[in-house]
């Protein structure tokens, strides 16, 4: 008896000329059908294990310079909308170079859908390839590490494969790449939008309890929303903001955002500003790249990961309490926990590989985490960290703390 899979109906793109290719730096050529924008782009291929939230993932500035492979097979079936976008500029291209999916896109089936996934990809300049065995590609990345590649989409199926191979093999990759400067805001701005609520949409901040300066290395909208929900009046500054510019705003707290690229490259200009905030004794909170930047400012080192962490199901343990949180992650670099200096404690670790996922400065109102407590997409186990940050500000100001 034949295996059921051999009797399944052929996919729409089978027996047709491929209109998209994913060409890896080792010469591997993966064929499929093109979706989204046309043309080609060179980037690093990673995989994301989330089963929801593809629109938020593809608009997360932390994915600049990458091609996202979704391990979940059904991507695009609920369409897209005008609300689930994470870039500050709702219409801007995020820096993500492409996406790889398995199953052909169906017509959207969701009451919030306003646009087909394919049309949305085109509008944001994202190249896609469908019909790929994403499990096999994921296994390849797990075995060999994050891969440099070229993704190409040509409706006529005409490709210069040799040229694409040379382009993929010749790309320098993300090590040494400062991508925060490509996604950060060009000028400072104020933020007051609060999180989405059922049948209400997004709200507005009702109080100005604190003034927080957020350094934008590629910040997500939902991070700013959760800070605003804590009563924070937010001033967002570009990644290149100096210590003097930050302190001149007399903030009650400073936030270091997520973002893309090699933290050591961004640190060449950002570390001095962070050191100035540390020396001023201002409560400080960092997420993702912000966590890595804080670690560098404290004297630790960062390193490139083998396959990175990308998904909404990553278990992290709080070493101070023993509590395990299921978190959302997106990073290809990590803090080397062995290099944390005296006076800096490792607070969180990944239960997948033991890598560093959090730190705190002993006796000072300074902490950071590698994962994304704002989720979007992902579980909300870690929302309490935003209250922890504002509680540090409350202590500094002599105010009563709130329960986390």
Residue numbers annotated as active site? 288, 372, 374
CB under 8 Å to 19, separation ≥6 — which residues? 32, 33, 34, 153, 154, 155, 156, 157
Per-residue DSSP letter, 96: -
Based on DSSP, count helices (H) and strands (E) in the chain, helices before strands: 10, 19
| Nearest in space to 141 (alpha carbons), one of 278, 308, 301 | 308
Bridge partners, residue 350, by sequence: 316
Q: How many Å apart are CA 256 and CA 285, to the nearest integer?
A: 6
Measured in degrees and rounded to the nearest 5, phi and psi for residue 291 equal -65, -45
Q: How far is CA 109 from CA 77, 78, 81, 208, in A?
A: 6, 5, 12, 40
Q: How far is CA 368 from CA 172, 284, 346, 404, in A?
A: 30, 8, 10, 16
Q: How many Å apart are CA 250 and CA 211, to the nearest integer?
A: 8
Q: How many Å apart are CA 250 and CA 247, to the nearest integer?
A: 5
Torsion-angle region of residue 375: left (phi > 0), alpha (psi -120 to 50) or beta?
A: left
Residue 146's CB is within 10 A of a number of other CB atoms, namely 21
Q: How many Å apart are CA 281 and CA 149, to the nearest integer?
A: 44
Task: Return the structure tokens found at 247.
Answer: 């302190």
Q: Which helix (H) or strand (E) holds 392?
A: helix 384-397
Per-residue DSSP letter, 131: S
């Amino acid at each position: 008896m034949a295996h059921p899979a051999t009797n399944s109906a052929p996919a729409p793109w089978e027996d047709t000329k491929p209109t998209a290719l994913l060409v890896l730096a080792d010469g591997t050529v993966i064929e499929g059908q093109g979706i989204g924008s046309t043309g080609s782009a060179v980037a690093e291929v990673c995989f994301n294990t989330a089963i929801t939230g593809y629109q938020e993932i593809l608009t997360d500035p932390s994915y600049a310079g990458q091609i996202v492979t979704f391990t979940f097979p059904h991507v695009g079936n609920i369409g897209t909308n005008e609300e689930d976008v994470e870039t500050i500029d709702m219409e801007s291209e995020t820096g993500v170079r492409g996406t790889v999916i398995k199953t052909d896109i169906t017509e959207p089936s969701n009451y919030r859908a306003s646009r087909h996934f394919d049309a949305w990809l085109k509008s944001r300049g994202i190249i896609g390839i469908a019909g790929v065995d994403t499990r096999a590609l994921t296994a390849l990345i797990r075995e060999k590490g994050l891969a440099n590649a070229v993704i190409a989409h040509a409706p006529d199926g005409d490709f210069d494969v040799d040229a694409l191979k040379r382009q993929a093999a010749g790309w320098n990759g993300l090590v040494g790449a400062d991508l925060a400067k490509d996604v950060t805001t060009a000028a400072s701005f104020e933020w007051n939008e609060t999180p989405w609520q059922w049948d209400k949409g997004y709200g507005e901040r009702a109080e100005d309890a604190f003034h927080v300066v957020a350094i934008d290395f590629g910040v997500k909208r939902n991070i700013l929303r959760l800070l605003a929900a804590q009563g924070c009046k937010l001033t967002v500054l570009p990644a290149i903001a100096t210590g003097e510019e930050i302190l001149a705003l007399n903030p009650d707290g400073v936030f270091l955002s997520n973002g893309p690229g090699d933290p050591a490259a961004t640190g060449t200009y950002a570390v001095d500003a962070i050191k100035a905030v540390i020396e001023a004794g201002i409560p400080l909170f960092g997420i993702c790249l912000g966590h890595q930047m804080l670690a560098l400012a404290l004297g630790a080192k960062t390193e490139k990961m083998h396959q990175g962490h990308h998904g909404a199901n990553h278990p992290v343990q709080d070493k101070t309490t023993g509590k395990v949180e299921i978190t959302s992650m997106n990073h290809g670099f990590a803090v080397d926990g062995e290099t944390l200096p005296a006076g800096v404690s490792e607070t969180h670790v990944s239960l997948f590989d033991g890598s560093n996922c959090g730190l705190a400065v002993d006796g000072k109102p300074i902490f950071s985490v590698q994962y994304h407590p704002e989720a979007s997409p992902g579980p909300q186990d870690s929302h309490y960290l935003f209250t922890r940050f504002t509680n540090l500000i409350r202590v500094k100001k002599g105010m009563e703390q709130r329960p986390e």
